[in-house]
Amino acid sequence: MKINTQYFDNETIIGWQKYLQNITAQQRVEYVLEYIQGPFALTSSFGAQSAVSLHMLTQIDKNIPVILIDTGYLFPETYQFIDQMSERLQLNLKVFKSQLSPAWLESRYGKLWSQGIEGLTKFNNIMKVKPLENAFDALKISAWFSGIRSNQSLSRNDKKVIEFKNSRIKIHPIIDWTDKDIYDYLQKHKLPYHPLWEKGYVSIGDTHTTQPLSTNMKPEDTRFFGLKRECGIHD
């Protein structure tokens, strides 16, 4: 019998965490899909190593909705990568956007990303967080998968395989994977990194808040000018 997400509490989540941490990423996905009541979705930014989660999830559930939040400021290479992976994996891609276009946003607020922490937070809320909530509501999503990993930044160190976030179950199947695990999976299945990976981009978001990794930088410093790591979706 599948468990409705409304019946999850902290004690239930802790029990699931203990079980899921001791099985493989693929088994985690299969177990969740079998025992938790959906609808489900996978969120993807189509970032540097996103082919892993896109492939893994769609091999288990080929029709799972893949939610992309398009800010209108993604790299040309990202849009090309989206097209490439969508065609190759036959993704059930669902694209959601803010009600404000980039031009309208800038007309109303200016370049928010250049206005410090407050501006960055406002930009992310308008262009990413709210559109994602709209996506969840429109698709009636009760549980969602994400491809984040704990070694990507300090802000993700304490993330578990499963958590309860904003009245929904959130699952991180590859949270404990290493860079080698990612590489091995991509090689095994002949999957590509994002095209900008070879140019030194280790974390890829919007053009105006992403830079390649350089000497004396930590990976999290390549996003949002080093002022913050998360956009609000994975906080």
Q: Which residues are identified as catalytic? A: 231
What residue type is 159 in one-letter code?
K
C-alpha to C-alpha distances, 61 to 19, 101, 104, 170, nearest whole angstrom: 22, 33, 38, 17
Q: Which two tokens stand for residue 182?
A: 């990612």
Residue reference for tokens 């802000």: 155
Rounded CA-CA distance 174/29 in Å is 10
Query: Quick one: DSSP state of residue 170?
Result: E
| Number of Cβ within a 10 Å radius of residue 138 | 11
Residue pair 28/56 in contact (Cβ under 8 Å)? The answer is no
